[in-house]
Amino acid sequence: MVDHSLDQLPVAVIGAGPIGLAAAAHLSERGVPFTVVEAGDTPAAAVRAWSHIQLFSPWEYNTDPAARRLLAATGWQEPDATELPTGGDLVKQYLQPLAELPALAPHIRCNAIVTAISRLGIDRLRTAYREDAPFVLRLADGEELLARAVIDASGTWRQPNHVGANGLPAHGEPDAAAWITHGLPDVFGADRAQHAGRHTVVVGAGHSAANTLLALAELADAEDGTTITWAIRATDPAASFGGGSDDELPARGALGSGLKMLVDTGRVTLAANFRAHTIRRLGDDPTRDQVQLISRGPDGSEQTVTADRIVAATGFRPDHGISSELRLELDPIMSAPRALAPLIDPNQHSCGTVTPHGYRELAHPEPGYWAVGMKSYGRAPTFLMLTGYEQVRSIAAFLAGDLEAAQSVELQLPETGVCSATAGGEALALRLGLSPEQHEQLLHVTARHLGTASSAADAVLAAAAELGVDETAALQLAAYAAELFDAPGATGC
């Protein structure tokens, strides 16, 4: 007879991304058996999909303490805490080495797609002996895995939000799927041909939209005929510009400053108060024909944008369908655990003002199941990896029976606040492809122009022109300097 007692079974971790691998590291340190199942064909598959994107948080906020300890024991060299990695750097320098550790590698299964989770022999209705029944994870190939607990770090990457403003697909959106890119297109690499010399409309108002808009503006410098429209539901785009030079993550502030520059200088056409209602194909060939994106306001007013390509930077949502036989208590607005929802509400919190939380706030009426990482945030877009690392540390401590450590939750996140001029400039320069040496040279030449220029922004523009820095990069650096020194915005382009 097979022994299905819980203490003989592993903890199932769904997803081998940053948070799932961190969960595995904490469980390994505590001697708790575990199995990681990853839907992709390699660990960190979702991160690899946006490997061209530079994070706005430096290395110090992107690695987990338990993972660092396990890696350090093998002679791993920790990256410079102040540097900004790309998604590719995160994989190459941290996630891949972590997944290859002897303590983790034998317990990671790739190409293992979880299609459903339940309890052994028990459906959602039955209460008696529920806590004693193992979890059953059914995979796409029909195999079933048993587990004593489930840490669901599957994320949201495979579940993008629709273009439609009301959360539903816009009319005609499924038929126009070949014209739509979700997430973060690689406009200088694999996706260049789709955008070079063409008109792209970017829908969305978050960091993904800002990254794409800035990349498209740089592409427009190199490729004639490249034009950009930014469609947002808000009347005023100011909220998308963030903390600017007051942001405690300089690269995040620089991102907002650069986006503001694009709008102020007309390099991006702003379509404000745009509520996508209909997408209409103007042909059958997405490599040649265009689409119309039609907005319809509450008063019946319409706006129309005709473009070659739509980038839906509208965020992602969790797939709770795999856990429909579990007893979950989700906030009706956020689709996050009910106790966590008020702590992460984007109407009140940024990613840096989230209250520390752990196994208790993430718990459901289904004992032993936790959704963590991006999935735990539901529809809220304010997640930072550092938050997820603390989540899984607390859960691993609970599963190991260390209640004191599980309940002692601490989290120090970068908020909008005072930051240094040099750090912000370095962050922006790095994102624009300038080396530290080039940035230092730019500072010296800018200092020489400050005495004669009418503003800090004009001094940066003059220095950039002298050094041959391209126009879009110069304008972004100028916009950031203008905010930093309370000077007028960058103009005259």
Which one, of 329, 323, 326, 314, lies nearest residue 360 by Cα?
A: 329
- Given a cut of 90, whether residue 404 has pLDDT beyond it is yes
**Beta carbons within 10 angstroms of residue 362's beta carbon:** 21
Per-residue pLDDT at 345 = 80
What's the whole-number mean pLDDT along residues 392-417? Answer: 83
Amino acid occupying residue 134: P
Of 186-190, 421-425, 476-480, where does mean pLDDT reach its minimum? 421-425
Band of pLDDT at residue 241, cut at 50, 70 and 90: low
Per-residue pLDDT at 84 = 81
What's the whole-number mean pLDDT along residues 230-242? Answer: 73
HEC profile for 332-356?
CCCCCECCCHHHHCCCCCCCCCCCC
Residue that wins the pLDDT comparison between 259 and 484: 259
The answer to whether 118 and 128 are in contact (CB under 8 A) is no
Which one, of 90, 83, 85, 141, lies nearest residue 111 by Cα?
A: 141
Per-residue pLDDT at 55 = 80
Per-residue pLDDT at 255 = 52
Q: What does pLDDT average to over the chain?
A: 84
Find out if CATH 3.50.50.60 is the number for domain 174-235+272-312.
yes
Please give the structure tokens belonging to residue 308. Answer: 């070659």
What's the whole-number mean pLDDT along residues 321-340? Answer: 93
Residue that wins the pLDDT comparison between 167 and 306: 306
Q: Each residue of 424-469: pLDDT tens digit?
A: 455 556 656 667 677 667 666 766 775 677 765 677 778 778 888 7
Band of pLDDT at residue 352, cut at 50, 70 and 90: low
- Given a cut of 60, whether residue 301 has pLDDT beyond it is yes
Q: Each residue of 258-293: pLDDT tens digit?
A: 677 777 778 889 898 999 999 999 999 999 999 999
pLDDT over 90, % of the chain:
55
Per-residue pLDDT at 4 = 59
Topology of the domain covering 6-158+316-400: FAD/NAD(P)-binding domain (3.50.50)
Per-residue pLDDT at 487 = 34
HEC profile for the chain?
CCCCCHHHCCEEEECCCHHHHHHHHHHHHCCCCEEEECCCCCCCHHHHHCCCCECCCCHHHCCCHHHHHHHHCCCCCCCCCCCCCEHHHHHHHHHHHHHCCCCCHHHEECCCCEEEEEECCECCCCCCCHHHCCEEEEECCCCEEEECEEEECCCCCCCECCCCCCCCCCECCHHHHHHEEECCCCCCCCCHHHHCCCEEEEECCCHHHHHHHHHHHHHHHHCCCCEEEEECCCCCHHHHHCCHHHECCHHHHHHHHHHHHHHHCCCCEEECCCCEEEEEECCCCCCCCCEEEEEECCCCCEEEEEECEEEECCCECCCCHHHCCCCCCECCCCCCECCCHHHHCCCCCCCCCCCCCCHHHHCCCCCCEEECHHHHHCCCCCCCHHHHHHHHHHHHHHHCCCHHHHHCCCCCCCCECCCCHHHHHHHHHHHCCCCHHHHHHHHHHHHHHHCCCCCHHHHHHHHHHHHCCCHHHHHHHHHHHHHHCCCCCCCCC
Per-residue pLDDT at 466 = 84
Per-residue pLDDT at 355 = 76
Residue that wins the pLDDT comparison between 349 and 374: 374
The pTM is what? 0.79
Max Cα-Cα span within the chain: 87
- Terminal Cα-to-Cα distance of the chain (whole angstroms): 78
Per-residue pLDDT at 468 = 81
| Size of the chain in residues | 493
Residue that wins the pLDDT comparison between 454 and 324: 324
The answer to whether 481 and 487 are in contact (CB under 8 A) is yes
Per-residue pLDDT at 380 = 84
Per-residue pLDDT at 266 = 82
Per-residue pLDDT at 456 = 59
- Given a cut of 90, whether residue 57 has pLDDT beyond it is no
Please give the structure tokens belonging to residue 480. Answer: 């950031």
Of 35-49, 163-177, 200-214, 357-371, where does mean pLDDT reach its minimum? 200-214
What's the whole-number mean pLDDT along residues 68-79? Answer: 96
Q: Each residue of 123-146: pLDDT tens digit?
A: 999 888 899 999 999 999 999 999
Work out the burial of residue 120: count CB atoms within 10 Å of its CB; fewer than 13 is exposed, 13-18 middle, 19 or more buried.
Answer: middle
Domains 6-158+316-400 and 174-235+272-312 share a fold: yes
Band of pLDDT at residue 92, cut at 50, 70 and 90: very high
What's the whole-number mean pLDDT along residues 177-203? Answer: 94
Per-residue pLDDT at 412 = 65
The answer to whether 43 and 95 are in contact (CB under 8 A) is yes
Residue that wins the pLDDT comparison between 266 and 478: 266
The answer to whether 395 and 359 are in contact (CB under 8 A) is yes
- Given a cut of 90, whether residue 83 has pLDDT beyond it is no
Per-residue pLDDT at 106 = 98
448-476 per-residue burial string, b: 16 or more CB within 10 A, e: under 16:
ebbeebebbbbbbbbbbeeeebebbbbbb
What's the whole-number mean pLDDT along residues 294-304? Answer: 91
Of 16-20, 374-378, 487-491, where does mean pLDDT reach its minimum? 487-491
- Given a cut of 80, whether residue 77 has pLDDT beyond it is yes
Which one, of 293, 299, 308, lies nearest residue 165 by Cα?
A: 293
Q: What dihedral do alpha carbons 398, 401, 406, 408 form, nearest 10°?
A: 170
Per-residue pLDDT at 451 = 64
The answer to whether 433 and 215 are in contact (CB under 8 A) is no
